[in-house]
Amino acid sequence: MANEAVLTPQGENFPQWYQDVVARAELAETGPARGSMVIRPWAYAIWELMQADMDRRIKATGVQNAYFLLFIPMSFMEKEQEHVEGFSPELAVVTHGGGEQLAEPLVVRPTSETVINHLFAKWIQSHRDLPLLINQWANVVRWELRPRLFLRTTEFLWQEGHTAHATYEDAQAETMLALEVYRAFMEETLAVAVATGEKSAAERFAGADRTYTCEGLMRDGKALQMGTSHNLGHNFARAFDIQYLSAEGRREYVATTSWGSSTRMLGGVIMTHGDDHGLRLPPAIAPHQVVLIPLAEGEVEGTVDKLASQLRGEGVRTSVDRRFHLSFGRRSVDWELKGVPVRVELGPPGAGRRPGHRGPPGHPGQDPGGGRRGRAGRPGAARRAPAQPPRRVAGRPRGPHLPGGRPGRVSRADRRRRVLPVGLVRLPGL
Amino acid sequence: MANEAVLTPQGENFPQWYQDVVARAELAETGPARGSMVIRPWAYAIWELMQADMDRRIKATGVQNAYFLLFIPMSFMEKEQEHVEGFSPELAVVTHGGGEQLAEPLVVRPTSETVINHLFAKWIQSHRDLPLLINQWANVVRWELRPRLFLRTTEFLWQEGHTAHATYEDAQAETMLALEVYRAFMEETLAVAVATGEKSAAERFAGADRTYTCEGLMRDGKALQMGTSHNLGHNFARAFDIQYLSAEGRREYVATTSWGSSTRMLGGVIMTHGDDHGLRLPPAIAPHQVVLIPLAEGEVEGTVDKLASQLRGEGVRTSVDRRFHLSFGRRSVDWELKGVPVRVELGPPGAGRRPGHRGPPGHPGQDPGGGRRGRAGRPGAARRAPAQPPRRVAGRPRGPHLPGGRPGRVSRADRRRRVLPVGLVRLPGL
């Protein structure tokens, strides 16, 4: 079948399947600088939807966004001993600027605890200034010798929360709150079931007292760290002298936290939901939730326009693929690779017969073989109005990958439990 | 008067006034690395609103977002002769990564023509791939010896559009379209009147055939470049060998464009609308469009909550300032400095009498001096319901700065012409 040629099957070689789907779905590619990544428009549009949803959740906890700096003076990195030891092997260093050698080298931020805590020391005077809750969306750099797109690249995009509190207990509560924001986002928006827990001392963030993680379970049976939250205790407060005047008039050190999630989550989405036919996107983060694919130019245009405008009117992100210079099969496979939740194929009766085409299901009675994986269309539509072109809702039955179960099998309990990675949108007027 | 102590008057020293308002409104401050800037939450929230609006306008022209790379191999910079000559004095260079000296130094992107055109050469094969319309939101670095916050810093945030077209004429049309997007955004969203035009050969972007600019007129009578759009012709296509197969089967070079706007626009907003009392924000980019300031704790809480929920219900971004440990005057001045379009002060009758307080207008009959600059309240509200606390809509009459006119004087024609920097929101139930 055609798609076997497109992607290496997961069961044969999972890492190769991952590379294939990232390339064929035009998600990302390696950039010209070592370990770098180019996020292509389709993946970037997914990231924008993820970012907007995560940002809303973070702000709902009272956190404000701000922007700090890309370049960190080397001396700042060195103020917290464990921190610099942990990050030293991964640093990219600017030694020249404006045509001259710099007196002090600048580190390209691998994370921003040092600069942000430096500013916290200026901004925090009194217990009235606490808690101080800040988040930054930014790019960071951690030198990577064996990059894998989205999962491990020298530069990546992320958000990093940084908060300061009056007590260690408040910092611990914030650490757990951020972890819960991540868990809820991953389960509700990404439809990825995660396990949360504390990391061992050896795996702790460099400079943290306690580190917690959200681990997603990928389809190859491995876990992926998809977000972490750290109680930094008084470590950075001491290193950067962040003190406040308590209500009782005493000078006290604040306790700080930090927590981050990144474009790596996109790798997690791919490895949780993708299958041998391509990516599969949860509707919440699908740039197009429905793609209408007219078979040929002309004949069904009116129907396509009407359907598109109805769907858009109901708030469904809808796209029409009019690339008629490409074969119908090629267009259909494209959107299957890209993981669009619902494809609607439209054409005159009988035009859908394409023996051997693997993607869209056969119309019952037309291509029984194609119906094996396909969701049956609505043959009644053609019967009710024979003059109308039959419209078929294409796509495999899709659900979250359930341990031990076949992909695509979703129990009713599962449907209730979470956003399905792919759900059929109610198509008005069909 | 109190505010004279807060900000240096514009007429006395405009650059000092600018520094004062940026500091006192907590918009930004200098970071610990040379030429760097920290964008504080209030300014970052303004930037997020600007970004969302600009992003929507850019996408409406068919452009897609993507993300490229921070680090550019030095050899890439050198492929276009004029480009590297123009940018060389401003480059920051990474020479060490992962603990080792790099074989080839990496430039921290000052702009992304080189990497993006490198990728265009991979992505473009046929005339069917054109036009290719890409935008990136990113940070860029241009070494700066004499930084001014927002206006000129070593690192800044921006968007850079990059497009490829079949013909030079198509590229020229895109160049002008981007310029028009900028003009419309600046006039309609930022309420900044701009002059557009072509730059002289000496002022052209390094590597461009033609450069166009949107120039805002600041209150000190100087122009500020707030956005530029470049027709790069075939210069980068030749340097990066971007060719396509035309419909007639010929290999042709594409023509490319680039266009950018940055956090500098925020500096333009400050210098266009700000006055001796603080920043003044157009409602479209005001993080809080209305701030409710209850005079004291307790008494007016119910009214405040009701009003806030009514306003929010109508889609007005509304905040309540309950920092009762601060004096009422301090809170009022804070929001005036930050440029919130509408302040609503609430308190029991008579409580507003604070001789000498400059910000809120006097209630008619209470403090005639204060009413000089103030918009009269609605004394009728107190008469209609004497048991209710009087609610007053505070704020100077505010309008765009008109050349030759006094700030605050707005003709009816002007009101029709553009979004006013500050408009009174209809307050339901008042």
**Model confidence pLDDT, tens digit, residues B247-273:** 999 999 999 999 999 999 999 999 999
User: Are A99 and B89 inside 8 Å of each other by CB?
Assistant: yes
pLDDT class of B388 with cuts at 50, 70, 90: very low
pLDDT surpassing 60 at residue B393: no
Q: How far apart are CA A400 and CA A195, in angstroms?
A: 16
Instruction: Provide the token pair at B143.
Output: 């070494």
Residue with the two structure tokens 């055109």? B117
Greater confidence, A45 or B404?
A45
Q: What is the DSSP letter of A186?
A: I
Strand partners, B107: B72, B93
* pLDDT at residue B420 in the model: 30
Whether the Cβ atoms of residue A175 and residue A235 lie closer than 8 Å to each other: no
pLDDT tens-digit series, residues B43-64: 999 999 999 999 999 999 999 9
Which of A197-206, B140-149, B376-385 has the lowest average pLDDT? B376-385
Nearest CB neighbour to A70, from listed B39, B40, B139: B139
pLDDT class of A219 with cuts at 50, 70, 90: very high
Report the chain A residue with the minimal C-alpha distance to residue B157: A67
* pLDDT at residue B348 in the model: 74
Which of A64-78, B224-238, B359-373 has the lowest average pLDDT? B359-373
Size of interface A-B (CB pairs under 8 A): 167
User: Are B38 and A97 inside 8 Å of each other by CB?
Assistant: no
Q: How far apart are CA A427 and CA A311, in angstroms?
A: 7
- C-alpha closest to that of A2 among A18, A23, A24, A19: A24
Q: How far apart are CA A52 and CA A137, in angstroms?
A: 11
- C-alpha closest to that of A6 among A286, A359, A354: A359
Residue with the two structure tokens 């209150």? B219
Contact with chain B for residue A134, Cβ under 8 A: yes
- C-alpha closest to that of A129 among A84, A163, A82: A163
Greater confidence, A348 or B409?
A348
What amino acid is encoded at B317 in this protein?
R
What residues in B contact A130, CB-CB < 8 Å?
none
What residues in B contact A90, CB-CB < 8 Å?
98
pLDDT surpassing 80 at residue A415: no
Q: What percent of chain B has pLDDT over 70?
A: 80
Contacts of A200 (CB under 8 A, 6+ apart): none
Q: How far apart are CA A112 and CA A139, in angstroms?
A: 11
* pLDDT at residue A301 in the model: 84
Whether the Cβ atoms of residue B194 and residue B215 lie closer than 8 Å to each other: yes
* pLDDT at residue A351 in the model: 56
Alpha-carbon Rg for chain A in angstroms: 25
Give how far A123 is from chain B: nearest CA, Å.
10
Residue to mutate among B39, B42, B71, B113, with most A CBs inside 10 A, is B71
Q: How far apart are CA B293 and CA A6, in angstroms?
A: 62
Q: What is the DSSP letter of B419?
A: -
Strands A290-294 and A342-346: parallel
CA-angle at B338, arms to B335 and B341, nearest 5°: 70
CA-angle at B49, arms to B136 and B190, nearest 5°: 100
- C-alpha closest to that of A204 among A86, A90, A84: A86
DSSP, collapsed to helix, strand or coil, labels residue A220 as: coil
Phi and psi angles of residue B27, each rounded to the nearest 5 degrees, phi first: -90, -45
* pLDDT average, residue stretch B273-298: 95
* pLDDT at residue A375 in the model: 33
User: Are B69 and A36 inside 8 Å of each other by CB?
Assistant: yes
What residues in A contact B131, CB-CB < 8 Å?
none
* pLDDT at residue A363 in the model: 37
pLDDT tens-digit series, residues A177-208: 999 999 999 999 999 999 999 999 999 999 99
pLDDT surpassing 70 at residue B234: yes
pLDDT tens-digit series, residues B56-90: 999 999 999 999 999 999 999 999 888 889 999 99
pLDDT class of B381 with cuts at 50, 70, 90: very low
pLDDT class of B194 with cuts at 50, 70, 90: very high
Q: How far apart are CA B415 and CA B85, in angstroms?
A: 46
Instruction: Provide the token pair at B32.
Output: 């610990």
pLDDT surpassing 90 at residue B427: no
* Consecutive H or E run containing B37: strand B37-39
Cα A238 to its chain centre, rounded Å, is 35
- C-alpha closest to that of B160 among B201, B215, B198, B116: B116
Q: Go through the domains of chain A in sequence order and give each one's CATH number.
A: 14-273 (3.30.930.10), 288-382+397-417 (3.40.50.800)
pLDDT surpassing 60 at residue B154: yes
* pLDDT average, residue stretch A263-280: 97
pTM of the model: 0.85
* pLDDT at residue B115 in the model: 96
pLDDT class of A378 with cuts at 50, 70, 90: very low
pLDDT surpassing 50 at residue A427: no
* pLDDT at residue B80 in the model: 87
Contact with chain B for residue A67, Cβ under 8 A: yes
- C-alpha closest to that of B19 among B3, B8, B5: B8
Q: What percent of chain A has pLDDT over 90?
A: 74
Cα A385 to Cα A378, A379, A380, A389, A426: the distances in Å are 12, 10, 8, 8, 20
pLDDT class of A376 with cuts at 50, 70, 90: very low
* pLDDT at residue A349 in the model: 63
Selection from A80-84, A413-417, B145-149, B273-277 with the highest mean pLDDT: B273-277
Which of A213-227, A385-399, B230-244 has the lowest average pLDDT? A385-399
* pLDDT at residue B222 in the model: 95
Q: What is the DSSP letter of A349?
A: T
> What DSSP assignment string belongs to B387-418?
TSPPEEEE--------TTSPTT---HHHHHHS
What residues in B contact A118, CB-CB < 8 Å?
32
Q: What is the DSSP letter of B284?
A: G
Cα B136 to Cα A110, B91, B93, B154: the distances in Å are 21, 20, 22, 19
Q: How far apart are CA B61 and CA B181, in angstroms?
A: 9
Report the chain B residue with the minimal C-alpha distance to residue A144: B98
Whether the Cβ atoms of residue A66 and residue B67 lie closer than 8 Å to each other: no
Residue to mutate among A50, A58, A59, A70, with most B CBs inside 10 A, is A70
Q: How far apart are CA B390 and CA B383, in angstroms?
A: 9
Contact with chain B for residue A393, Cβ under 8 A: no
Nearest CB neighbour to B76, from listed A32, A44, A98: A32
Whether the Cβ atoms of residue A109 and residue A71 lie closer than 8 Å to each other: yes
User: Are A94 and B98 inside 8 Å of each other by CB?
Assistant: no
* pLDDT at residue B423 in the model: 30
What amino acid is encoded at B419 in this protein?
V
Instruction: Provide the token pair at A277.
Output: 């036919």
Which of A284-298, A331-345, A396-410 has the lowest average pLDDT? A396-410
- What is the residue-averaged pLDDT of chain A? 84
pLDDT class of A422 with cuts at 50, 70, 90: very low
Contact with chain B for residue A44, Cβ under 8 A: yes
**Residue A253 backbone zone (phi > 0: left; psi -120 to 50: alpha; other: beta):** beta
What amino acid is encoded at B307 in this protein?
L
pLDDT surpassing 80 at residue A288: yes
pLDDT tens-digit series, residues A160-172: 999 999 999 999 9
What residues in B contact A143, CB-CB < 8 Å?
97-99
Which of A307-311, A363-367, B205-209, B264-268 has the lowest average pLDDT? A363-367
* pLDDT at residue A296 in the model: 85
> What DSSP assignment string belongs to B121-167?
HHH--BGGG-SEEEEEEEEEE---SS-BTTTB-SEEEEEEEEEEESS
Q: How far apart are CA B126 and CA B130, in angstroms?
A: 7
Strand partners, B331: none
- What is the residue-averaged pLDDT of chain B? 84
* pLDDT at residue B34 in the model: 85
Greater confidence, B427 or B166?
B166
DSSP, collapsed to helix, strand or coil, labels residue A131 as: coil
Instruction: Provide the token pair at B4.
Output: 């004279």
